[in-house]
Amino acid sequence: MENLTKLNLDNYKPLRDVVFESLRKAIVEGSLKPGQRLMEVQLAEQLGVSRTPVREAIRKLELEGFVIMLPRKGAYVADMSVKDIIDVLEVRSALEGLAANLAAERMDEKEVENLKEISESLNVAMEGGNLDEILKKDVEFHQCIFEAAGNKKLTQMINSLWEQVYRFRAGYMSDKNAMIGIKEEHAHLIDAIVSGDGERASKCAKNHIERAEQYMIDKADRI
- For the stretch 10-54, pLDDT in tens is 566 788 899 998 998 888 777 898 899 999 999 999 999 999 999
Instruction: Give 11: exposed, middle or buried? Use CB within 10 Å, 0-12, 13-18, 19+.
Output: exposed
Instruction: Name the domain count of the chain.
Output: 2
Would you say residue 33 lies in a domain? yes
Instruction: Kindly state whether residues 72 and 88 are assigned to the same domain.
Output: no
85-127 tens-digit pLDDT: 899 999 999 999 999 999 999 999 999 999 999 999 999 999 9
Q: Is residue 34 one of the residues assigned to a domain?
A: yes
Q: Are residues 131 and 206 in the same domain?
A: yes
Q: What single string gives the DSSP state of each residue in the chain?
A: -TT-----TT-SS-HHHHHHHHHHHHHHTTSS-TT-EE-HHHHHHHHTS-HHHHHHHHHHHHHTTSEEEETTTEEEEPP--HHHHHHHHHHHHHHHHHHHHHHHHH--HHHHHHHHHHHHHHHHHHHHT-HHHHHHHHHHHHHHHHHHHT-HHHHHHHHHHHHHHGGGHHHHHT-HHHHHHHHHHHHHHHHHHHTT-HHHHHHHHHHHHHHHHHHHHHHHHH-
From CA 118, how far away is CA 217, in angstroms rounded? 29
**Is position 204 within any domain?**
yes
Residues 88 and 64 in one domain: no
In CATH, what number is assigned to the domain containing residue 211? 1.20.120.530
Per-residue pLDDT reduced to its tens digit, 68-84: 999 989 999 988 888 88
Domain assignment of residue 63, given as a range: 15-77
User: Is the domain of 92 the same as that of 181?
Assistant: yes
Residue 151 and residue 202 share a domain: yes
pLDDT at 212 over 70: yes
Looking at every residue in the chain, the average pLDDT score rounds to: 90
Is residue 192 situated within a structural domain? yes
Per-residue pLDDT, 220: 63
Residue 115 lies in a domain: yes
In this structure, are 40 and 134 located in the same domain? no
Q: Over 60: is that where the pLDDT of 173 sits?
A: yes
Q: Of 52, 77, 102, which marks where a domain is finished?
A: 77
